[in-house]
Amino acid sequence: MATESLLPLESNPEVMNKFLQKLGVPSNWSIVDVIGLEPEMLSWVPKPVIAVTLLFPISDAYEQHKRKEENDILSKGQEVSNNIFYMKQKIKNACGTVALVHGVANNLDKIQLNDGPLKGFLDETKGLDANDRGAIFVKSEGIINAHKELAQEGQTNTPNAEDPVNHHFITFVNKDGVLYELDGNKAFPINHGKTTPDSFLEDAVKVCKEFMARDPEEVRFTVVALAASE
């Protein structure tokens, strides 16, 4: 496991889009802000939406729910598609990049990925398990260097890589008609039930609201979507 710490990516669509384009994602797909979670505001998000990323504070409530959720799934089981791309996070503060990779990697039927570091990484890790993918990701210089470059950008003061960071990115995708939560710090993908391309954004937002409801005193939540560029 790598001992290196990265500067965290900001939840900033401009920075995220520069990062994705460096990795080979064409400009006809882009990260956009989801400025509100009510139906009228969701209607403003460009369609189609193929991934939703949530930035949230890591709290005791999150950790408690994570443990309970994992125990419940281990005892009861869950169905997970063999087609899902999932990787473990094995480098500190890389959760933003892991979340973006999850969003792109599970939508290669829609995204015509250009040659670049992400395509090379996905080709190299095809068929591997989540731990092996995470280990190879740590050594993927093209992706890591792009992260380092773009983490310097953004609207807020850039922290030191060793500073404590208590925010975490996760991504939701629709794979084979099922809504999955992909969190590189969890033991496995989380199956949140059926969804459709048309209802995916609303279904993902329902789960985002559950995160918010578990921390009612907290306001530091941000939602962005990977959507077709207007």
Rounded to whole angstroms, how far apart are CA atoms 51 and 100? 9
Distances (CA, A) of 29 to 96, 138, 211: 17, 25, 26
* CA nearest to 167, candidates 90, 65, 62: 62
Strand 190-194 to 178-182 pairing: antiparallel
**Active-site annotation holder among 95, 102, 147, 208:** 95
**Active-site annotation holder among 102, 147, 168, 208:** 168
Tokens, residue 227 = 């959507």
Rounded to whole angstroms, how far apart are CA atoms 221 and 219? 6
- Is 208 a catalytic site residue? no
Which residues are identified as catalytic? Answer: 95, 168
